[in-house]
Chain A
Amino acid sequence: MKMKKKWLTSLVLTVGVGLLVSACGTGGNQASSGSGTAGGGTAEKVYVVGTDAAYPPFQMLEADNKITGHDIDVLNAIAEAGGFKVEWKNTGWDPLFDGLDRGTVDIGISSITITEERKKKYDFSEPYFEANQLILVAEDSPVNKLDDLKGKKIGVQGATTGGEVVKKAFGDTYQGLKEYDDMPSAVDDFFNGRVDAVVGDNGVIQYYVKKIKDKKFKLIKDDSFEKEYYGIMVKKGNTEILNKINDGLKKIKENGKLQEIYNQYFNKE
């Protein structure tokens, strides 16, 4: 009996480890582009860039611990165009802000929405991404704006703008609102028929549905949603680096590099 139990335990362990490894393996298939290598002199300061690599496709962690994603490619391109060197650090969300305060991190890029509140404490670059909310519904659904969802079950990611717009439209205690921990869970339950619609950031929704093209759905843009802009964050008053970033950002906007990176990650609408 004892032997059998040991055998079972090891089976469970094996299966568990196997699942874990395979889950990591499917984590991402986008190869990272070269890190910001080009630059000027050798004595140049290397800027530490902090990010929270848990928000695909903007920033994510590969199986080999490399940080990749849309934001990473953008900042690397900016650094190349602006002529400065960067070093990546996966700090996590809260420590990123803390690191900027303490000076252990020079630049923050992590799909950070430019808000008035954050502007008081930090300086932001020009926006590099425009985010708006999209509604994901079945292909044959009659819904074509947010108001049409009244009385239906709506999946969102908790504590995001998607949840806020639904609460704003239907009230804080709206019964049909399902707040998930992450966007993929909400989208999964949409395809499993447990919610009638999903409201969320265009970037994340588009990336996710791009991976499951064979399913039937449509994306609706409601113009009543407020637009949000992602910016690159630096410590308040650090104009030296901010100017370099804005300079590089302007260049990659003009030469089409920013659009190129965008197309690489998202479907063109």
Chain B
Amino acid sequence: MGTLLGLFISLGKQSSKAWLRIPSAIYVELFRGTPMLVQILLIHFAVIPSIWEVFFPGQSSPEAIYSGMIALSLNAAAYIAEIFRAGIQSIDPGQMEAARSLGMTKGMAMRLIVIPQAFTRMLPALGNEFISLLKDSSLTAVIATPELNYAAMSVAKSTLERYPPYLTEAAVYLVLTLFLSRIVVRGLEKKYSTK
């Protein structure tokens, strides 16, 4: 979800049209420039309840897990947008010009020529982002999302034991991130390698 949104924002930021470019730039600065913890709290306790009050009066606001997913996606989109921009800008402008001279529209050239090449170059940075996103999901424990960190904190609070729950949590995260970086990201990099 964040990747798709990030792609559109990144394209918006590079657009020649100001009505696309300026909101995209503001979006990136807002979500990259404020702490994720603050974003989670704002979205969960303020934004979503207000929206629900206006559009679905009388209904319960969605549960914490949805607030967490929305906050993480919105935040990741800002970072991913910048990764896409870096990737796209790293492609030689001659590629775009060549595609245009073959009669492709701008959109076609972007979709068929530039983005596929940029994607290969972006993979390491994207892998990085996914790993930090995975770790940041632990922040959603503050809104009582039933996730790993919430469970560990809950155990720590009730047993007054600190090492066992937090070390277990750290180990689980390590396994997950190792899996992501060693298997998924490396596999993708190999698959899309141009060498």
> With A12-B33, A185-B45, A185-B143 known to touch, is A192 a contact of B61 (CB < 8 Å)?
yes
Q: Provide the bound-state CA to CA distance between A12 and B25, in Å.
A: 13
Complex contact A8–B25 (CB within 8 A): yes
A-B interface contact total, Cβ < 8 Å: 61
Among the listed stretches B78-86, B151-159, B178-186, which one makes contact with chain A, having 4 or more residues with CB under 8 Å of it?
B151-159
CB-defined interface of B43-77 with A at 8 Å, one 1/0 digit per residue? 00100110010000001111110000000000000
Beyond contacts A4-B25, A5-B29, A189-B45: 4 other A-B pairs, Cβ-Cβ < 8 A, are A8-B25, A158-B154, A178-B64, A194-B63
Complex contact A179–B144 (CB within 8 A): yes
Q: Provide the bound-state CA to CA distance between A181 and B149, in Å.
A: 13
A223 within 8 A of B: no
A256 within 8 A of B: no
Q: Provide the bound-state CA to CA distance between A194 and B49, in Å.
A: 10
A163 within 8 A of B: yes
> Chain B residue with minimal CB distance to A180?
B144
> With A178-B144, A180-B144, A194-B64 known to touch, is A158 a contact of B29 (CB < 8 Å)?
no
Choose from B33, B142, B158 the contact partner of A172 (Cβ within 8 Å).
Answer: B158
Q: Provide the bound-state CA to CA distance between A179 and B154, in Å.
A: 7
17 A-B pairs in the complex with CB atoms less than 8 angstroms apart: A5-B29, A9-B33, A12-B30, A12-B33, A12-B34, A16-B34, A158-B154, A178-B64, A179-B150, A180-B143, A185-B143, A185-B144, A188-B49, A189-B61, A189-B143, A189-B144, A194-B62
Complex contact B144–A155 (CB within 8 A): yes
> Chain B residue with minimal CB distance to A153?
B63
Q: Provide the bound-state CA to CA distance between A193 and B143, in Å.
A: 14
Complex contact A159–B60 (CB within 8 A): no
Complex contact A8–B29 (CB within 8 A): yes
Chain B residues whose CB sits within 8 angstroms of the CB of A155 once the complex forms: 144
Complex contact B52–A192 (CB within 8 A): yes
Q: Provide the bound-state CA to CA distance between A228 and B52, in Å.
A: 39
Chain B residues whose CB sits within 8 angstroms of the CB of A194 once the complex forms: 60-64
In the complex, chain A residues 151-199 whose Cβ is within 8 Å of any chain B Cβ:
155, 158-159, 163-164, 167, 172, 178-181, 185, 188-189, 192-194
> Chain A residue with minimal CB distance to B157?
A159
> Chain B residue with minimal CB distance to A156?
B144
Chain B residues whose CB sits within 8 angstroms of the CB of A8 once the complex forms: 25-26, 29-30, 33
> Chain B residue with minimal CB distance to A13?
B33
User: Which residue numbers of B lie inside 8 Å of A, CB to CB?
Assistant: 25-26, 29-30, 33-34, 45, 48-49, 52, 59-64, 142-144, 150, 153-154, 157-158
Chain A residues whose CB sits within 8 angstroms of the CB of B154 once the complex forms: 158, 179
Q: Provide the bound-state CA to CA distance between A192 and B30, in Å.
A: 26
> Chain B residue with minimal CB distance to A5?
B29
> Chain A residue with minimal CB distance to B58?
A193
Complex contact B52–A159 (CB within 8 A): no
Chain B residues whose CB sits within 8 angstroms of the CB of A4 once the complex forms: 25
Choose from A12, A158, A185 the contact partner of B153 (Cβ within 8 Å).
Answer: A158
> What's the nearest-Cβ distance from chain B to residue A186, in Å?
8
The 4 closest A-B CB pairs, nearest first, are A193-B60, A159-B157, A178-B144, A192-B61
Chain A residues whose CB sits within 8 angstroms of the CB of B144 once the complex forms: 155, 178-180, 185, 189
Q: Provide the bound-state CA to CA distance between A181 and B153, in Å.
A: 10
Choose from A12, A159, A189, A193 the contact partner of B158 (Cβ within 8 Å).
Answer: A159
Instruction: Find the residue from B25, B29, B59 having the highest chain A CB count within 10 A.
Output: B29
Chain B residues whose CB sits within 8 angstroms of the CB of A159 once the complex forms: 157-158
In the complex, chain A residues 240-266 whose Cβ is within 8 Å of any chain B Cβ:
none
> What's the nearest-Cβ distance from chain A to residue B181, in Å?
31
Q: Provide the bound-state CA to CA distance between A102 and B139, in Å.
A: 36
Complex contact B60–A192 (CB within 8 A): yes
> What's the nearest-Cβ distance from chain B to residue A166, in Å?
11
Chain B residues whose CB sits within 8 angstroms of the CB of A16 once the complex forms: 34
Instruction: Find the residue from B63, B142, B150 having the highest chain A CB count within 10 A.
Output: B63
> What's the nearest-Cβ distance from chain B to residue A135, in Å?
18
